[in-house]
Each structure stands twice: as C-alpha cells, then as structure tokens.
Amino acid sequence: MVTARRVAEILEGYEDIVIATACSHSSLQIFHGAKAEGFKTLGIAIGERPRVYDAFPAARPDSFLVVDSYQDLARNASELTEVNAVTIPHGSFVEYMGADAFLDLEVPTFGNRRVIEWEADREKQRTWLAAAGVEMPAKIERPEDIDRPVFVKYHGAKGGRGSFIAKNYDEFLEHVDKGQPYAIQEYVIGTRYYIHYFYSPIGEEGYNLSKGTLELLGFDRRDESNIDEMYKLGAQESLKRLGIYPTFIVTGNVPTVLRESLLPTTLQMGEKVVEKSLELFGGMIGPFCLETIVTDQLRFKVFEVSSRIVAGTNLYISGSPYSDLLEPGMSTGRRIAREIRDARKVGRLLDVLT
Ligand code: AMP
C-alpha cells in the first residue's frame, strides 16, 4: 500500500488540487460538488471520452484522462500526479481497478485506503460491525443448520448478483454454487434503509465523536430487479415452478426519510461503527453507508457497510431533507470537496488523504 510518507511527498509538489474520479457511479455528483467548491476536475475514462457529460454540462469534468484499461491507469499514476490530482474512490472505481491495484495507486486518494481490507472480506466486516455493537442478521455457520428463511450471498458479490433466498436446507442445496465461497444469514423481514453518513476527522462542531464529527446526509432505498416487481406475475413459489427466480440486481434508487424517532439510533449506530474503525485501522474517513433493515420491532439490522460514497446519494445533488439542515444544497460529492478544501486550509490534508 502507498505509504503516508509517499503521499506527503507527492502533495508537497502540488499547487492547485484537481479532483479526479472514474467516469461512472456517482461521478456527476462528485464533479458537480467539486466545481461548487472551486476545484478543477478530471474524469478518468476507459477507451474513449464519454459523451454522457455533454448532456449534463454542470457536471462535466474540465478535462479527461483516457486510458485503455484500469490496469493501465495503475501503471500510469504519474499522469494523474503531474496534474495535481486527488482521486475520489467510489464503488465502481475500486471494483474495476481491483482492490490491490487501488491500494498501490500512487496518487493521493480521499479516505483511508486501509478500510478496504476490513470491508472486502465479509468475515472481517462482520468482526468490525459486531465489535462496534450494531445488530446484524444472525449468521448461520453450517447449511445443515438452516432452521428459518435465509439469505445466501457469495463473497465479493456486488449489487446483489448471485444472492438467493432459501427457506430450508433443501432449497439451499437446490440453488447453491458450492464452487464459490458463500455466507448464510437469517432472512430479515422488514423495511430497507441505506443510511448516508459523513465522518470528518477534522470537524470540530456538531455531532462530536471522540475525534471529529459525524454527519447524517440522507437515506435511500434501492430498486432491485427483478424482486421488486415479480409479484405482479404471481407468488414467488408458483413462479419457481416456471423456472423464474428472484434476483437482487440494483437498477436505481428511491428517496426516503426515516421515522424521526429512529434518528437518535441512526446516529448512534454510525458513531459506533466509526469509533470502532478508529480503533481497528485508523478510521473510516468521509462518506460511508450502513445498509439496514428495520424490523416491525423497530430494530435495525445492519447487513453491510460501504465505506465510500454510495450511488444512493445521487438522489441529493441539490441537498436532502437532512443535509439541508447542515447547509442547504450540500450533496455528498460536494461535502467531500469541502472536506479537502477545509483540510488544506488548516494544513491537515494528510488527515483526510492516504
Ligand atoms: P447485498 O448483496 O448484501 O448488498 O444485498 C443485496 C440485497 O439483498 C439487499 O439490498 C437486500 O434487499 C437483500 N438482503 C441482503 N441481506 C439480507 C438479509 N439478511 N435479509 C433480507 N434481505 C437481505
């Protein structure tokens, strides 16, 4: 992994920082927010300059770096440092580059790269969340012990691909691909909320943690194909007889707000996960998301943490009902740029970049 000393050396040569990210996922919001905070922007594209930004001029990056592949980008980090780039990781950026190449990319990057080690491995993620004291769906160690409906996920599966529901051991055997490592969780029945937080290690006033401040910027819910709409065709059980099975592929996001009495718990959960991250690996810096299901007992079960900007924040480019109470018009993308700007002003860039 790139060392803090190397990042400091690179930053010494920087004048005006340019905010760079891969042209996908939440890039419109990241570029739009960076511009609003007075930064120049650079889009990293594969193969050719994407046309999509022509349709959205307020989010069009000032320049592009077009490379043949993400692997090519790892080899040519100097093209980014020459223009004083700071990269903003998002789910697709890290996924396409590969975690190892991303860890070694010799370009200052927003957030703590060490979080990847704790996030990518479902077992380590569970250790972190459990140690933080947030409730998670129960884990079923052995398939033979399945005694209730379960949700089966393959390691590293993104966007719900490959996951399936089994109501008993026989159904598990029917669907499982034993060639891939998998995890079995109890199937939690409730309503899903994806919580968008921002942790600032340099924040001083607000919802204070042992170090820095925590912000709650919004909530979304995901549209998942085909599970969301399959009921129109009939009950899942009868559809199975036709060879039609539910899938959980994320296709979009919908805005939502949370019952207000649940907000204190929401903040406490974010706080606990950040505090534990400070202890385990020096902190999860910037935006993160807890993916939760709220039961009819009003208990949150956290089934995943995403330790960077999530695409659900794209709903709130001009602010959310919550971020508006911090500062009107504050998107998560803009909040990232603001953090870099503030850290530079007080000489603490190394507290937010790695
Ligand atoms: P994931 O692969 O963890 O991102 O999960 C994909 C989708 O599966 C989520 O958005 C939920 O709809 C659903 N899901 C994941 N874990 C559970 C669970 N333990 N119980 C019920 N639904 C779940």
| Protein residue closest via CA to atom 7 of ligand 1 | 160
pLDDT computed for residue 22 by the predictor: 96
> In this structure, are residues 132 and 126 in contact, taking their beta carbons and an 8 Å threshold?
no
pLDDT average, residue stretch 79-106:
93
**Comparing C-alpha atoms, which of 340, 323, 345 is closest to residue 332?**
323
Higher-pLDDT residue of 155, 169: 169
Give yes or no for a contact between 120 and 114, defined as CB atoms under 8 angstroms apart.
Answer: no
Token duo for residue 219: 């909530």
Average pLDDT over the chain, rounded to an integer: 95
74 pLDDT band (50/70/90 cuts)?
confident
Using DSSP, state whether 89 is helix, strand or coil. Answer: coil
What strand order describes the sheet that includes 164-166? 164-166, 150-154, 182-186
Q: Compute the average pLDDT of residues 111-139.
A: 94
* pLDDT tens-digit readout, 171-183: 999 989 888 889 8
Nearest Cα to Cα of residue 336 among 95, 41, 8: 41
Render pLDDT for 1-45 as a digit per residue (tens, 0 to 9): 899 999 999 999 999 999 999 999 999 999 999 999 999 999 999
Dihedral of the alpha carbons of 265, 266, 269, 273, in degrees to the nearest 10: -160
Residue 155 pLDDT: 77
CA-301 nearest atom, ligand 1? 19
CA distances from 245 to 30, 166, 206, 234, 236 (A): 36, 11, 46, 12, 7
Mutate to test the pocket of ligand 1, among 134, 140, 146, 151 (most ligand atoms within 8 A of CB): 151
User: Ligand 1: which residue has its CA nearest to atom 5?
Assistant: 160
Q: Both tokens of residue 235?
A: 């009950």
Counting from 1 in the atom list of ligand 1, the atom nearest the Cα of 194 is 10
CA of 243 to the centre of ligand 1 (A): 22
Side chain identity, residue 298 = L
Averaged pLDDT, 278-293:
98
Closest atom of ligand 1 to CA, residue 187: 20
Token pair 């001083």 is found at 204
Say what percent of the chain tops pLDDT 90.
83
Q: How many angstroms does the Cα of residue 351 sit away from the middle of ligand 1? A: 33
Query: Nearest residue CA, atom 16 of ligand 1?
Result: 303
Nearest CA residue ID for atom 1, ligand 1: 160
- pLDDT at res. 185: 95
Å from CA of 112 to ligand 1 middle = 26
Pocket (CB within 6 angstroms of ligand 1): 137, 151, 153, 157, 160, 163, 185, 187-188, 192, 222, 224, 248, 293, 303-304
Q: Which amino acid is at 315?
A: L
* pLDDT computed for residue 157 by the predictor: 58
Burial 11-21 (b: 16+ CB within 10 A, else e): beebeebbbbb
Is residue 145 over pLDDT 70?
yes
Q: What is the pLDDT of residue 75?
A: 84
Q: How confident is the model at residue 158 (pLDDT cuts 50, 70, 90)?
A: low
Q: What is the CA(287)–ligand 1 centre distance, in A?
A: 21
Give the integer Cα–Cα distance in Å for 299 and 144: 28
| β partners of residue 63 | 42
Of the listed ranges 43-47, 143-147, 213-217, 245-249, the one predicted with least confidence: 245-249
Distance 109 CA to ligand 1 centre (A): 29
Residue nearest atom 2 of ligand 1, based on CA coordinates:
160
Residue 54's pLDDT band (cuts 50, 70, 90): very high
| Nearest Cα to Cα of residue 258 among 292, 233, 232, 281 | 292
Task: Work out the average pLDDT over 191-218.
Answer: 98
Position 170 scores a pLDDT of: 95
Pocket test for ligand 1, best of 303, 305, 306 (most atoms within 8 A of CB): 303
* Residue 148 zone, left/alpha/beta (φ > 0; ψ -120 to 50; rest): beta
Amino acid occupying residue 102: F
- pLDDT category at 70 given cuts 50, 70, 90 is confident
Buried residues in 184-200 as b, exposed as e (16+ CB within 10 A): bbbebeeebbbbbbbbb
If you take atom 18 of ligand 1, which residue's CA is the nearest one? 187
Q: What is the rounded distance in angstroms from the CA atom of residue 288 to the CA atom of residue 90?
A: 10
Question: Which has more pLDDT, 326 or 70?
Answer: 326
Pocket test for ligand 1, best of 126, 163, 220 (most atoms within 8 A of CB): 163
pLDDT interval class at 326 (50, 70, 90): very high
> Taking CA 140 as the corner, what is the angle to CA 258 and CA 304, rounded to the nearest 5 degrees?
35
Are 215 and 206 in contact, with CB atoms under 8 Å apart? Answer: yes
Average pLDDT over residues 124-144: 96
Could you tell me which of 198, 192, 174 has the C-alpha nearest to residue 283?
198
pLDDT average, residue stretch 274-279: 98
